[in-house]
Chains A and B, each alone.
Chain A
Amino acid sequence: MRNEARAVQPGAVFRQGLQYLLLGFGGLIMLFPYLWMISTSLKARGTWYNISLLPDPLSLEHYELLLSTSLLPRWYLNTLIIAITATASVAFFSALTGFVFAKYRFPGREILFVAILSTIMIPTEMLIIPWYVGIAQLGWIDSFQGILMPGMLTAFGIFVMRQFMANIPNELLDAGRIDGVSEFGLFWRICLPLAKPALAVVIIFTFLGQWNDFLWPLIVVNSDNMQTLQVGLSRMSSLETGADWGGTMSGAALASIPMLIIFLFFQRQIVQGLTLTGLKG
């Protein structure tokens, strides 16, 4: 209504146009590095310094080289294993813990919840040294367990699940109890299916975070075979790239494209997740 009223005002059209112009210009700045990355990755070997957005001749040889001779496929697999394991763990335990904090009353509930949330305030940089010492004692350096250790549960996940599950009516649980559902069954069969939207947010954010995680894997990983995608990409040398920026750009493209695709599919959940943290933070 207000929009239509403004549309007939002189100046409103101009103002809309100006905003589109500014947003478009900004959008070009946002998009251009990606176009440049893709374009360079498709240029033939030894032509990366050509200042043209359209590769001529168009060539897939950088991708072929990376996928056939480098360990990049292995790094993909490592990253997938780590991201899936961590995401499954975070999803399950966050949901269970969120369920307890939303639906049970017990001594120490408030203090424990605040304690868990307060871990968000501790910078990772302060924890990496003790973590490293710990996993070194366990012999987990350069292993999946070592990389996975700090990310199996997050305060963010618990927070999101608790906020959502608090809105599930208690009557549903009581009805379940009367029907003889076990306490775990109340969680697994009643609350969890109802909390799917929140669970989706937790899963997407955890997977995204794991996929792009850099600092901790960088410390844990030593051998070529154990690299995660990001760590491997950061250490790419002429061996992988064929001493060509086109090779580096195709590596960067291969590392970021899966997340871009996931983002296209789950845009709504990602925006929703941000809103959740944004409004309650």
Chain B
Amino acid sequence: MATTVTPPKKRQFFSFRLSLAQKRMVWAYIFVAIPLAYFLLVNFSAMFSSFLFSFEDYVTIRASRTFIGLENYQRVFEMKPFLDALRNTFVLAAVRVPLLTVLSLGVALMLHNIRRAKGAFRMLYFIPFVTSGVAIAWVFKFMFLPNFGLFTHLFDLLGMKRVFFLGDPKTALGSIISVTIWAGLGYYALIFLAGLEEIPQVFYEAARVDGANSWQCFRHITIPLLNRTLVLVILLAMISSLQSFTFVRMMSKDGFGGPLNSTITMPLLIYKEAFFSMQMGRASAIAVIFFIIVLIITVIQRKLVSREVDY
């Protein structure tokens, strides 16, 4: 009975299923058509254009664009501001990332441990995340003021030698880095806190029963189990450090990384070359180099960090 009926039924069922699945597929493509076209245009084709521009003699006010091969790259590496920007960007990342990681982990651990007013403290540290960088920069610029600034008064009060903060090439970058650490602390602490809350309490209870002290618990339970969060925080902090723009633009003496290029960073140099020197080609070459640096550091550091802590 079944053998005679099955073939037509099966075919009918099969063709019905296929057309329904196809119909859904068509709908899926219709729904994602606009978003995909958008990403193609705004991200991928723009990235391609960036590579293209970097091989061209392209100055905004001139209409013509000519292919000049690697000349932009050659010239960029002979530029003093480029080398300064490269150095400053690395210094900024090398100082900011470890400090930010350690401090935010410390804050997160304390927030995790305290029993009352957790929410209030968490909020307090997190406020800068929702504040605009421009507003923060103005406030600190005001406090860093050479003669009337609050920090000058504080230094006087403590009997310390006066410092010119943003006005001195020796202290300008350090002053800006400290502001970026202040501004980022709560964000990373919150990510750590989420990671800490994921660790099951059972591990700590078991360790206590075995007589482990706080440091041993931290070293052998918290750190290994927080590995994933740690990698993420370092990665995010690294990317945000490399991309520093708002604070250096706002707080450097002339807005372009002064004094004496002591605070110029890669993003600020790209901005300056493209929109003030009108050198679109050269700026694109710097942007491409910057992109490659960000990519390499991200990949290397992701591998290094996960290897060091993971066991």
Assess A96 versus B31: contact at CB under 8 Å? Given A127-B47, A212-B132.
yes
Bound-complex Cα distance A209 to B212 (A): 44
Instruction: Known contacts A49-B148, A96-B35; decide if A129 and B25 are in contact (CB<8 Å).
Output: no
Could you tell me the distance between the alpha carbons of A40 and B198 in the complex, rounded to whole angstroms? 42
Instruction: Check if A30 sits within 8 Å of B138, measured CB to CB.
Output: no
B35→A134 contact, CB < 8 A:
no
B28–A126 contact, CB under 8 A?
Answer: no
Contacts of B24 in A (CB 8 A): 104, 106, 183
Q: Whole-angstrom distance between the alpha carbons of A256 and B127 in the complex?
A: 10
Q: Which one of B9-17, B68-76, B164-172, B287-295 is at the interface?
A: B287-295
Contacting pair B246 A278 (CB below 8 A): no
Q: Once bound together, how far apart are the Cα atoms of A184 and B23, in whole Å?
A: 13
Binds B, one of A60-68, A80-88, A115-123, A195-203: A115-123
Q: Tell me the complex Cα distance, A134–B43, Å.
A: 12
Q: How many residues on the A side are at the interface (Cβ–Cβ under 8 A)?
A: 90
Which residues of chain A have C-beta atoms less than 8 A from B25's C-beta?
A: 104-107
Residues of B within 8 A of A3 (CB): 115
Cβ B128 vs Cβ A30 within 8 A: yes
Which B225-241 residues sit within 8 Å CB-CB of chain A? 229, 232, 235-236, 239
A172 on the B face (CB < 8 A): no
- List the B residue with the shortest CB-CB distance to A104: B28
Tell whether, in the assembled complex, residue B204 and residue A106 are in contact, meaning their CB atoms are under 8 Å apart.
no
Q: In the complex, are the beta carbons of B46 and A249 less than 8 A apart?
A: no
A22 interfacial contact with B, CB 8 Å:
yes
Of A2, A116, A215, A256, which one neighbours B245 at CB under 8 angstroms?
Answer: A215
Complex CA–CA separation, A114 to B131 (angstroms): 32
> A29 — which chain B residues lie within 8 A by C-beta?
182
Contact check, B130 vs A260: say whether CB atoms are below 8 A apart.
yes
* Residue B177 CB within 8 A of the other chain: no
A214 to B198, CA, bound (A): 35
The interface residues of chain B lying within 8 Å CB-to-CB of A271 are 122, 190, 194
Q: Digitize A96-109: 1 where CB-to-B-CB distance is under 8 Å, 0 elsewhere.
A: 11011100111100
Q: For chain A, what secondary structure do more than half of its interface residues adopt (helix, strand, loop), or is it mixed?
A: helix
Partner of B39, one of A115, A249, A255, A270: A115
Given contacts A29-B182, A128-B274, contact A97 B132 (CB under 8 A): no
Size of the B side of the interface (Cβ < 8 Å), in residues, is 93
Asked if B143 is an interface residue, CB under 8 A from chain A, the answer is yes
Chain A residues near B295 (CB, 8 Å)? 121
Known: A123-B290, A183-B24. A260 touches B187 (CB 8 A): no
Interface residues of B, Cβ cutoff 8 Å to A? 21, 24-25, 27-29, 31-32, 34-36, 38-39, 42-47, 49-50, 53, 107, 110-111, 113-115, 119, 121-128, 130-140, 142-143, 145, 148, 150, 153, 182, 185-187, 190-191, 194-195, 198, 201, 204-205, 229, 232, 235-236, 239, 242-243, 245-246, 249-250, 266-267, 270-271, 274-275, 280, 283-284, 287-288, 290-291, 294-295, 298
Q: List 24 A-B contacts (CB under 8 A).
A: A2-B204, A16-B114, A19-B114, A26-B107, A48-B148, A93-B38, A105-B25, A107-B25, A112-B36, A123-B239, A123-B267, A124-B243, A128-B271, A129-B284, A130-B45, A131-B42, A211-B132, A214-B133, A219-B271, A230-B133, A248-B138, A256-B136, A262-B130, A267-B123
Residues of A bordering B, CB below 8 Å: 2-3, 15-16, 19-20, 22-23, 26-27, 29-31, 33-34, 36-37, 40, 48-49, 51, 93, 96-97, 99-101, 104-107, 112, 115-116, 119, 121-134, 149-150, 152-153, 155, 158, 183-184, 187, 208, 211-212, 214-215, 218-219, 229-230, 233-234, 245, 248-249, 251-253, 255-256, 259-260, 262-264, 267, 270-271, 274-275, 278-279, 281
Q: Top 6 nearest A-B pairs by Cβ distance?
A: A130-B49, A104-B28, A252-B135, A130-B46, A212-B132, A183-B27
